Structure 1
Amino acid sequence: MLTLRLYMLQRITAMLMAPLVVGHLAVMIYAIQGGLDAAEILGRTQGSIVWFLFYGTFVVAVAIHGAIGLRTIIHEWGGVRGAALEAVMWVTGAILLGLGARAVWSVTFAAGLGA
């Protein structure tokens, strides 16, 4: 039953990530058309709850999706099972979530709060 739940969760996160990837690519293509540099882009994202929610949702979906995918690969290719397999999944998800959350915070709010 756990395998089915993880399978479904990974598919749901993939469906969530698809429009977020397209949106991210569209914004990046649009942003560089006018010759914007990183400082100008950060100037537009700082303090924006919309960009925080957009990229925060993206990070959560990627962390879940990536951790489940790595769990599957390790199980199929490495034969790892049980608690070790679950630990790899949870640690991977936590690392991805932590790094992604830090990046989202840095792009949207950190400089605005003097950090």
Structure 2
Amino acid sequence: MDLRLFMLQRLTAAVLGPLVLVHLGLILHAVRGGLTAQEILARTQDNAWWMAFYGLFVVAAAVHAGIGVRNVLLEWLRLPRRLGDALGLLFGAALLVLGVRAVVAVGGAWA
């Protein structure tokens, strides 16, 4: 199980790397261009590509962070394995729900 989680966390890290770079590039572009929040939303709403991009971002981040929190709880706090597993899963699930809600809210007509 730990080997699978290790590999899954490394896979999600590989997915997150380029996604984070694109996301940061978009932020820099928007800030330098003086775009308002309303203008940014106008560009992202009803755009299936952006929903897919940020949907993948959310899933990868939730899985990656859930595994990471689990590992911290087990290694640093020495929690019992089942409790660490449950709390890591709960944390990842919470991130997933909140992230999907944000993607759907920004998606406009897709909501």
Range 79-88 or range 9-18, more displaced: 79-88
Tell me which stretches of 4 or more aligned residues in structure 1 moved more than 4 Å: none
Partner-residue secondary structure (3-state), 1:99: helix
Tell me how far 1:93 sits from its aligned partner.
Answer: 1.1
Tell me how far 1:42 sits from its aligned partner.
Answer: 0.3
Q: Give a deviation string over 1:83-111, Cα, whole Å, max 9, x none.
A: 212111211111000000011111113xx
Matches within 5 A, 1:1-115: 2-109=1-108, 112=109
TM-score, normalised to structure 1's length?
0.91
Range 23-32 or range 39-48, more displaced: 23-32
Give the gaps of 5 or more residues in structure 2: none
- Alignment partners' CA distance in 2, 1:3 and 1:72: 10
Partner-residue secondary structure (3-state), 2:79: coil
- Alignment partners' CA distance in 2, 1:12 and 1:99: 22
**Matched AA of 1:38:** A
**Matched AA of 1:76:** E
- Alignment partners' CA distance in 2, 1:60 and 1:26: 20
Count of residue correspondences: 111
- Give me the identity figure in percent: 47
C-alpha RMSD of matched pairs (Å): 1.2
Give the gaps of 5 or more residues in structure 1: none
Tell me how far 1:80 sits from its aligned partner.
Answer: 1.1
Partner-residue secondary structure (3-state), 1:36: coil
TM-score, normalised to structure 2's length?
0.94
